[in-house]
Amino acid sequence: MQILNWQALSSKEQADALKRSPLIGDNSLEQSVATIINSVVNDGDNALRQFSREFDGIELESIALSKSQIAQACANVTDELKQAIAQAKNNIDCFHRAQLQTNLAVETQAGIRCELRSEPIERVGLYIPGGTAPLISTVLMLATPAKIAGCSKRVLLSPPPINDAIVYAATECGIEEIYQVGGAQAIAALAFGTQTVPQVDKIFGPGNRFVTEAKRAVSQDNRCTVSIDMPAGPSEVLVIADKQANPSFVAADLLSQAEHGADSQVMLVTDCIKLAEEVNQALNDQLGKLSRAQTAKQALECSRTIIVEDMDSAARVSNQYGPEHLIIQTEQPRDILPKIRAAGSVFLGAYTPESVGDYASGTNHVLPTYGYSKTVSSLSLADFSRRFTVQELSADGLKNLGQCVMTLASAEQLDAHKNAVAIRLASLTASEPATDEQKASKVEA
């Protein structure tokens, strides 16, 4: 990887050093995805079949999997893979179940009760990438929290021909509706519905740049009201390492994300030039042995090593980049953690490869990319529910708050708002028995 000295760079060069892969900034992407979406809106299933032919090279017999197709796919999965799926699912289930929250109620003032409640999102669409690798683990990452949250309609889509283990993992997570459609056309189908694919309320799942652009586009399209989880595009990792880090471990972690796609990006930030050179050597040694060497090599071409003065500076560079995954392989990784402001998921120490989070530690691997980790959180149980508030005032509560609201409404010159309170306060006063003082003043009058 290209090695850059952070201190020697101008601020423009520093910003360029942290730019994402040029494939992601491709201007033609927006237009080609818009064309795909419009075709699905107009032609429904026919468009899905046409794009499957064009992009996946598959002549689709059935878009929806039948019960017998599902049973056959499950029977094809080996026991070893079934056991690994079960172990990963247990950990993911354990971590996401722990995120269940109870509704809360607070009395902000006497007679004023405020509540925060949450309800599952009813219809969710789960997109499982499958263009270049069948991401079986993504099924667990999406379907497990969707089930725990109580989403009643959970449909799963993945490119054709759908992988048997994806189907098995889906059924293990209680998914009954499975469709073989991929790419931007799958996202359009979930957003607008077709003759076969049902329309959903929210779309979840990562994907390549076509999928991610399609999610962005449908979430801003006023022809539908679908929402999305987050921009979870091509994988990224940034490794902060010091002189004690094992260069082979670092190289292996960088390659584990580089192999996802040519548009993936991996970064190394270190205060040790010797380590940077050893990692480059280890990358060369390991790259040739990978089945996806060509893809990883392309990703490495748009990736960089940045030499910084010290670990404080490393944390600042990482925060500026806002990586999807951040690995800290230093002598005292926990010392750096409090300085981290932006990362989708953090991996501490030499024995925490990023792969464990991808598959089975229990955390969710659906994470914001493109620098969105500065503002967007990693996928969690809360994303499958919507929160809403409730308030209830007693008559005394309204008496306590009425004047405050009327004063604010007057200041905003919104008379009807003020009146909605005033009319009630007046009715309360009228229905109250008169006090001795009031009776006396009436007699005097």
Ligand X SMILES: N[C@H](CO)Cc1c[nH]c[nH+]1
Active site residues: 324-325
Q: How far is the CB of 20 from ligand NAD (least distance, A)?
A: 12
Residue 76 labeled ligand binder: no
Residues 6+ apart with CB under 8 A from 176: none
Residues 6+ apart with CB under 8 A from 246: 329, 350
Mask for 118-137, x = binds ligand NAD (CB under 6 A) = -----------xxxxx-x--
| Nearest CA among 197, 218, 215, 196 for reference residue 207 | 215
User: Residue 177 burial by CB count (10 A; 0-12/13-18/19+): exposed, middle or buried?
Assistant: middle
Tell me how far apart the alpha carbons of residues 243 and 134 are, in angstroms, rounded to a whole number.
36
Cα dihedral across residues 86, 90, 96, 102: positive or negative: positive
Residue 55 engages ligand NAD in binding (rule: CB under 6 A) = yes
Cβ closest to Zn ion, residue 63 vs residue 296: 296
Judge contact between 296 and 290, C-beta under 8 A: yes
Judge contact between 391 and 112, C-beta under 8 A: yes
Residue 182 engages ligand NAD in binding (rule: CB under 6 A) = yes
Residues forming beta bridges with residue 202, ordered by sequence position: 124, 227
The residue assigned the tokens 């269940």 is 100
Judge contact between 51 and 58, C-beta under 8 A: no
Residue 365 labeled ligand binder: no
Q: How far is the CB of 15 from ligand NAD (least distance, A)?
A: 23
Tell me how far apart the alpha carbons of residues 238 and 305 are, in angstroms, rounded to a whole number.
10
Mask for 347-376, x = binds ligand X (CB under 6 A) = -----------x------x-----------
Task: Please choose which of Zn ion, ligand NAD, ligand X, none residue 210 contacts, taking the beta carbon within 5 to 8 angstroms, the exact cut-off set by kind.
Answer: ligand NAD
Mask for 252-291, x = binds ligand NAD (CB under 6 A) = --------xx--x---------------------------
Task: Please choose which of ligand NAD, ligand X, Zn ion, none residue 182 contacts, taking the beta carbon within 5 to 8 angstroms, the exact cut-off set by kind.
Answer: ligand NAD
Task: Please choose which of Zn ion, ligand X, ligand NAD, none residue 56 contacts, taking the beta carbon within 5 to 8 angstroms, the exact cut-off set by kind.
Answer: ligand NAD
Judge contact between 184 and 218, C-beta under 8 A: no
Tell me how far apart the alpha carbons of residues 144 and 97 are, in angstroms, rounded to a whole number.
9
Residue 96 engages ligand NAD in binding (rule: CB under 6 A) = no
Residue 208 engages ligand X in binding (rule: CB under 6 A) = no
Residues forming beta bridges with residue 393, ordered by sequence position: 112
Residue 263 engages ligand X in binding (rule: CB under 6 A) = no
Residue 235 engages ligand NAD in binding (rule: CB under 6 A) = yes
Stretch 335-364 residues interacting with Zn ion (CB under 5 A): 358
The annotation places the binding site at 127, 185, 208, 235, 257, 260, 325, 358, 412, 417
- Enumerate binding residues for Zn ion (CB under 5 A): 358
- Enumerate binding residues for ligand X (CB under 6 A): 135, 137-138, 235, 257, 324, 358, 365
